[in-house]
Structure 1
Amino acid sequence: MIYSYEAEASVIGACILDPAQIDIVSDFVSLEDFYVEHHRAMWSGLQQLALSNEVDPVSLHELVSDYSEHYGGLQGLCEMARSTPSIENAKAYAAAVRDKALRRRLSIHLSEITEQVGNHHTSLPDLIDKAQSKLASVIGQRAGTVQPVQSWLSSWIDDLEARNEGTIDPMGLLFNIPELDAKTSGMHPEDLIVLGGESGMGKTVVAAHILDSVCLRQKKPALMFQLEMRKEQVFNRVLGSFSGVKLDALKNPRRFMNDEGWSQVSAGLAASKEAGLVIDDRPGLTPSQMRAAAKRWKEHYGELGCVIIDHAGIVQPDDKTIPREQQMAEVSKSAKILAKELGCPVILLAQINRENTKRSDKRPVMSDLRESASLEHNADMILFIYREAKHNPDCEYPGVAELIVAKQRDGEVGTVRVVCDLSRSQLKPATAENIADYHREFPRQNSAPTQADKFAV
């Protein structure tokens, strides 16, 4: 097995002789980096003692005495400290321990991958995803890459002044809904945006609108993991959002398409051919598989404008043995980490429970999110879609939906009203003209769902 007994012992010895080294080498090594079992116990003990500033051989020996036969008791521990070549080289010893640990993990992962290569029951794309995920997990970001505020404060001040002078636009990627963009300043890099709503309320319509806005209109590559629908169904909605062609016409053009519709399709196809739009509709993806795929597409395009995951409830956990609540926590945490790694917003769609149907006011709140604690905690923004017409078909404005900003770390919360045309998968500002146009096309039918409701997802 790949490890260095001497390097591990020298890290321990240097920290015994100079406890200040504990914090320093902690930037380079972690507990699992130590291969020798009693060295791992000693490192854990040193960190525990450092909290109370009581690091000395006797105290450490008392914590790890169960392993005394392996290191020679207190005398052996003192000898380990005395044999340390140089306290000043503690970082170098720690780097050696870390290097051996990474090589050890790499060797294990390569062996596992080699074994799976011979398993013909595993598809090649899945095998590649698993291999990339395993290899990417070998090296994570260490604290040594972090710099104190003073080292980047001047660039922060420059950015602040540039935003004040107007040379840098503080607006992120546009939702392409003016009132929502004004309230949120758009979608920003590294943000996790949770998009929630009841089943059939129109979450996928919002997702398609975002793809249209980011990819087709703002010309940024975008990736969607669609775990529920076929990629063709999603593309129909993106095309409908961009062009205004009805989904019925795309599904059955022989019956419903007219000359205007064909013209709209042509315009949408022209925009789509120039766009870096990727719809991954493989079922049963895990967070690690999505991470591997997203990193591949970022490398391919050089950047990603956004990533959309539809939806959280059917993402398969990497560890299927943990309880459901922990699985959801892992999904939301992985989505937030993905946003930071890719440097782009990640939009995670999520179902809400049925608690809102028991209230007179059926608008969703954050506690309605299924397994809500982790989603609430990890999200930078929580956005709900709510259509009153779903619960009350006789409402005054059945074509109007509410986009409820329930949480925003760096801004205000509130509600934005939009016209939601499900037949075209379109969202428009709720102007008097747009509302009137909708109701002319879809007259209210008392006590019955509107015709467009059949397209809600």
Structure 2
Amino acid sequence: MLELPNRQMPHSTDAEQAILGAMLLDEKVCEDVKLKLQPDDFYHHRHRIIYETMLILLDQNIGVDVTTVTAYLQDHKRIAEIGGVEYILTIYESVATTAHTEHYVEIVLEKSISRLIINRAQSLIEQGYDPETSTQDLIDTAEQQFSGLARLNQGSDFKQIDNVIIDFIKNVERLSQSTGEVTGLTTGFTALDNMTSGLQNNDLIIVAARPAMGKTAFALNIAQNVAKLNHVNVAIFSLEMGADQLVSRLVSAEGRIEAHRLKTGNLEGADWRSLKIATDVLSNLGIYIDDTPGIRVGELRAKCRQLHQQKGLGLVMIDYLQLLSGSKANGGNRQQEVSEISRMLKEMARELKIPVIALSQLSRQVENREDKRPMMSDLRESGSIEQDADIVTFLYREDYYKKDPELNDNIVEVIFAKHRSGAVGTVKLAFRKEISRFENLVNVPESAHIPDV
């Protein structure tokens, strides 16, 4: 353990002695303490040895008292390390009651976390002086080292079912007062909302497709609709396109302006009016765009946490997962890196209590099958993604593969291959590629040639 010059690490000798003394005095205390403290939480070496001995005795169903602890330490020739039998007696005799043991446990745990923070901070300082350590690596290390510390102070105890049921009933009553079937964030797509009841908090949602299926347009439309219809802030991380290209797609979809006209500036009279209306609408939405290429997942999470704290955050969309970078701790193993990325995205969804949408690539093996509809096995580095995701959807356009002039086009199948809290199946939407816009089938104009379904 690191000690700073002329300064002792935070600790409480009295609290540590009081806990050990209470365990020697009353065996009933032992199980409660065992659930909350580890040997390393004790600052003093001899206290760690005594506590480790008590845990061993408990595991062997041997009662914990002065006699059994002393005998074990003597048998294993460790009695001298803790100051002899006299020290065990001193601890035992210093405790008159076990009434305040829980408070002493909180003190010891708090001091232990303080020491952990100091040690990790000192380690970061040492890395900072290393000329071979980049600033980004330092930031990633800090994110990993400190992101979970808050949870150490909030142990998750058993929840008695009657208390959980009370909260459950309150939630059902709240949902019953809402109109319609949508209990999460509405996407603006009726069939999609019927399948999911809206985008739910804590969910990691994967949208995967082969190129040209429209997955980026689909996710952008959802992000745009969520911001507009639910009045929440949305963060978009665009690792493939710059912010200007992404905004061009948003304007095209919102104003129903053909993308090539925006790209060339060849707008007609009605287009200018549509451009003005679309930009006015988008300017008033809480959409935040980050187009940092190759952003590390730790940095992404830190940015989302900051936005959530400062302005509030309702949804995160990432285009796309395979372009994210993990930490260097994976030693160049891409599969481990993707596992880390998907795990951290799921943790972020739970921490911020928001849905997170991540786009994903599919492997080329789709093209080798007669039926081109994607399957779970087509996900790139699929194992961890499939495990961490709450929803996995695939996009499929039959007209892309079947060059048949008789085949009505513009239909996209949204295939729910995994749905942790609901049904799997397929819903259909219209895709107007020229304006980067998905629409409900019933709302598509006749010129789009959408068949009756």
Band of TM-score, shorter chain: 0.7 to 0.9
Q: TM-score, normalised by structure 2?
A: 0.81
Query: For residues 13 and 392 of structure 1, what CA distance do their matches in structure 2 show?
Result: 78
Instruction: Find the aligned partners of 1:77 and 1:420 in 2 and give their Cα distance.
Output: 78
Larger radius of gyration: 2
SS in 2 for 1:139: helix
1:332 equivalent in structure 2: 342
Aligned to 2:318, what secondary structure does the other structure show?
Answer: strand
Offset of residue 91 of structure 1: 2.4
Match of 1:98 among 88, 96, 109: 109
Work out whether residues 237 and 424 of structure 1, in 8 Å CA contact, stay in contact via their aligned partners in 2.
yes
1:207 is paired with a residue of what secondary structure?
Answer: helix
Match of 1:443 in 2: none
Q: What is the match of residue 207 of structure 1?
A: 219
Aligned length: 435
Amino acid across the alignment from 2:32: I
Are the counterparts in 2 of residues 336 and 378 from structure 1 also a CA contact under 8 Å? yes
Q: Select between 414-423 and 284-293 the one with higher mean Cα deviation.
A: 284-293
1:276–1:111 Cα change, 3 Å: farther
Q: Distance in 1 between matches of 2:134 and 2:280?
A: 34
Which residue of 265, 280, 284 corresponds with 1:270? 280
- Name the TM-score, length of structure 1 as normaliser: 0.80
Matches within 5 A, 1:201-350: 201-253=213-265, 256-301=266-311, 303-322=312-331, 323-350=333-360
Give the aligned CA root-mean-square deviation in angstroms.
Answer: 3.8
Shift of 1:179: 0.9
Cα distance in 1 for residues equivalent to 2:370 and 2:80: 69
Shift of 1:300: 1.5
Contact 2:206 2:392 in 1 (8 A): yes
Question: SS state of the match for residue 237, structure 2?
Answer: strand
- Specify which of 400, 408, 411 is matched with residue 397 of structure 1: 408
- Residue 230 and residue 80 in structure 1: after superposition, are their counterparts in 2 closer, same or farther (change >3 A)? farther
Q: 1:343 to 1:84 in 2, by over 3 A?
A: farther
Partner Cα separation in structure 1 for residue 43 and residue 387 of structure 2: 35
Unaligned runs of 5+ in 2: 4-8
CA offset at residue 337 of structure 1? 1.3
1:193 paired with 2:202, answer no
Summarize deviations over 1:57-83 as a string: whole Å, max 9, x none.
759958x9597764368x589558636
Maintained 8 Å contact 2:140/2:327: no
Aligned to 1:181: 193
CA distance in 1, matches of 2:203, 2:319: 17
The Cα shift of 1:221 comes to 0.2
2:82 to 71, 79, 90: 71
In structure 2, what is the Cα distance between the partners aligned to 1:95 and 1:236?
A: 55
Letter in 2 for 1:82: Y
Residue number in structure 1 paired with 2:169: 157
Q: After superposition, give the CA deviation of every residue in 1:145-180 in whole Å (9 maximum; x if it has no partner).
A: 775343353342233234345579752111211111
The Cα shift of 1:19 comes to 5.3
Deviations 1:29-77 (A, max 9, x none): 4565455667667767766765664564759958x9597764368x589
Aligned residues of 1:399 and 1:435 also touching (Cα < 8 A): no
1:228 Cα deviation after fit: 2.4
Distance 1:325-1:82 versus aligned 2 partners, 3 A rule:
farther
SS of aligned partner of 2:434 = coil
> 1:371, CA displacement in angstroms?
2.6
Q: How far has the Cα of 1:112 moved from its partner?
A: 5.5
Structure 1 counterpart of 2:224, one-letter code: D
Measure, in 1, the Cα distance between the counterparts of 2:91 and 2:180: 55
Q: 1:280 is aligned with what amino acid?
A: D
Is the Cα–Cα contact under 8 Å of residues 192 and 378 in structure 1 kept in the other structure?
yes
Q: 1:377 to 1:54 in 2, by over 3 A?
A: farther
What is the percentage of aligned positions where both structures have the same residue? 27
Q: Residue by residue, what CA displacement relative to the aligned partner does 1:369-421 show, whole Å, maximum 9, x if unpaired?
A: 22322222222211111122333333723321111111212211110111122
Q: Distance in 2 between matches of 1:327 and 1:280?
A: 21
* Mapping for residues 110-189 of structure 1, pairs under 5 Å: 110-111=121-122, 135-140=146-151, 142-143=154-155, 147-164=159-176, 166=178, 170-189=182-201
Uncovered stretches (5+) of structure 1, i.e. residues with no partner: 441-457
Counterpart of 2:6 in structure 1 is none
Could you give the per-residue CA deviations for residues 308-340 of structure 1, whole angstroms, max 9, x where no partner exists?
A: 222222222124335433322222221111111
